[in-house]
Amino acid sequence: MEIERKWLVSGWPQGLQQTEEFTMRQGYVSVRPTVRIRQESLAGGETRYVLCFKSQGGLAREEVETDLPRQTFEDVAEKIIAKPLIEKVRRGYALPGGLVLEVNLVDAGQPGEFMYAEVEFETVQQAEHWQPAAAGLADYLTNEVTNTPGQSMGAYWEKTRMN
């Protein structure tokens, strides 16, 4: 189960300890249901190729991931998806209570460029009660889109790659 809240943001957060950075490429075989492939390259670390299935939902939804061989990822990207993949930079920042703020820069330099942030939680109750102000983020996390239709990466894929 994936339980997360999402906000549209402007810029990287200030005053937080950055814990990691990934560069990613991802594409969608399907958006209903979500079937996605992703290349995740950790700065200074390993690269993973992942196949992900996600159920419908907003705050909470099922998510199943499995690793792919690199060649399978490339074959699906080139032969099945056959569209430019979404490029992302994701930075992780430590939050109080062991939580992590993940901030994503999507398609930098492209017409659809935008940034969003997510925080994943252990339970729905924890997610519903967590307040950005408790982490000093009241001025940064102001535009929550967790349950807003059209704010998923799948919707962005449809808008920017399927037309």
Q: Which residues contact 6 (CB under 8 A, 6 or more apart)?
A: 116, 117, 118, 144, 145, 146, 151
* Domains with residue ranges and CATH for the chain: 2-161 (2.40.320.10)
**Contact assessment for residue 160 and residue 30, using Cβ atoms and an 8 Å cutoff:** no
Per-residue pLDDT reduced to its tens digit, 10-36: 999 999 999 999 999 999 999 999 999
Per-residue pLDDT reduced to its tens digit, 83-136: 999 999 999 999 999 999 999 999 999 999 999 999 999 999 999 999 999 999
CA 73-74-79 angle, 5° bins? 105
**pTM for the structure as a whole:** 0.94
Predicted local distance difference test score (pLDDT) of residue 57: 83
CA 118-5-143 angle, 5° bins? 80
**Contact assessment for residue 99 and residue 117, using Cβ atoms and an 8 Å cutoff:** no
Share of the chain above pLDDT 90, in %: 96
Residue 73: in which H helix or E strand, if any?
A: helix 70-75
In the chain, what are the helix, strand and coil shares in percent, each to the nearest 5?
Answer: 20, 45, 35
Q: In residues, how long is the chain? A: 163
Cα separation, 114 vs 26, whole angstroms: 15
Q: What is the mean pLDDT of the chain?
A: 96
What is the average per-residue pLDDT within 152-160?
95
Looking at per-residue pLDDT, the higher value among 82 and 57 belongs to: 82
**Contact assessment for residue 136 and residue 116, using Cβ atoms and an 8 Å cutoff:** no
